[in-house]
Structure 1
Amino acid sequence: MAYFYLVLAVMAETVGTSALQASKQFTRPLPSALVVIGYATAFWFLSLVLRTIPVGVAYAIWSGLGILFIALIGWLVFRQPLDLPAVIGMTMILAGILVIQLFSGATPH
């Protein structure tokens, strides 16, 4: 169940961060409300995750996946460019998440 909550936390954080871009520095009410709701939801689910998964591992996975999803949304929705070094760096982040999941004894299996 912890990984399900972690996925929900990442999704909520992704919505909140995407809405932050759309809020235009909190000048647009609906995206601004989504920022607050998204981040509050993300931290609530993350708190549930921490019952089972160590904070360092949970945060590494949460932030790493958040980086990947936000970069993808930035590229697709906001037309923000991603150059080769950015793609390589994000690929390395994904590889790090996979190493943690597949080989670390700090994660529940």
Structure 2
Amino acid sequence: MKIETGWGWIFLLLAILFELSGTTAMKLSEGFTRFWPSLLMFVLYGCSFTLLNFALTYIEVGIAYAIWSGVGIVLITIVGFVLFKESFDLTKLAWMSLIIIGVIGLKLSSKVQ
């Protein structure tokens, strides 16, 4: 892996973390009825999309977007369970496992550009 490509994965990881934070702020905004979480959501999503844009200069769009969304889905499900006491069962675990397998497969199959 070239060092330049490493930056793409760093940007993608940060984009995922900002997206996770933005989605958490969205939940806390209670349908835009709370000002600060609502404002924070827009800022965090803006950061996420900016970082995703930078990642796309190093990583193929299909791979980057699939990983960004797949990892985001898994992480926000965990956050929902832990912070918001949302339901979690074996069926969700099984489907999330398939997402994780897909993300790993995409990462392993991605070419160094």
* TM-score clears 0.5: yes
Instruction: Select the residue among 28, 32, 41 that pairs with 2:38.
Output: 32
Q: Which runs of 5+ in 2 are unaligned?
A: 1-6
Q: Pick closer, same or farther for the CA change 1:107–1:75 going to 2, 3 Å.
A: farther
Superposed CA RMSD in Å reads: 1.1
SS at match of 1:51: coil
Which residue of structure 1 lines up, in the alignment, with residue 64 of structure 2?
58
Describe the superposition over 1:37-74 as per-residue Cα deviations: whole angstroms up to 9, x where unpaired: 11100000000011011111000000011001100100
Say if 2:99 is the partner of 1:93.
Answer: yes
Q: 1:6·1:46 contact (CA, 8 Å) conserved in 2?
A: yes
Report matched runs for 1:7-22 at 5 Å. Answer: 7-22=13-28
SS at match of 1:53: coil
Q: Tell me the residue number matched to 2:54.
A: 48
5+ unaligned residues in a row in structure 1: which ranges?
Answer: none
Cross-structure match for 2:85: 79
What's the offset of the Cα at 1:108? 2.5
Rounded to whole Å, the distance in 2 between the matches of 1:71 and 1:57 is 21
Give the secondary structure class of the aligned counterpart of 2:32.
coil
The answer on 1:23 being equivalent to 2:22 is: no
> 4+ residue stretches of structure 1 with deviation over 4 A?
none
- The answer as to whether partners of 2:63 and 2:107 remain within 8 angstroms in 1 is no
Identity of aligned residues (%): 37
Aligned residues: 107
In structure 1, the residue matched to 2:4 is: none
Q: Partner of 1:3 in structure 2?
A: 9
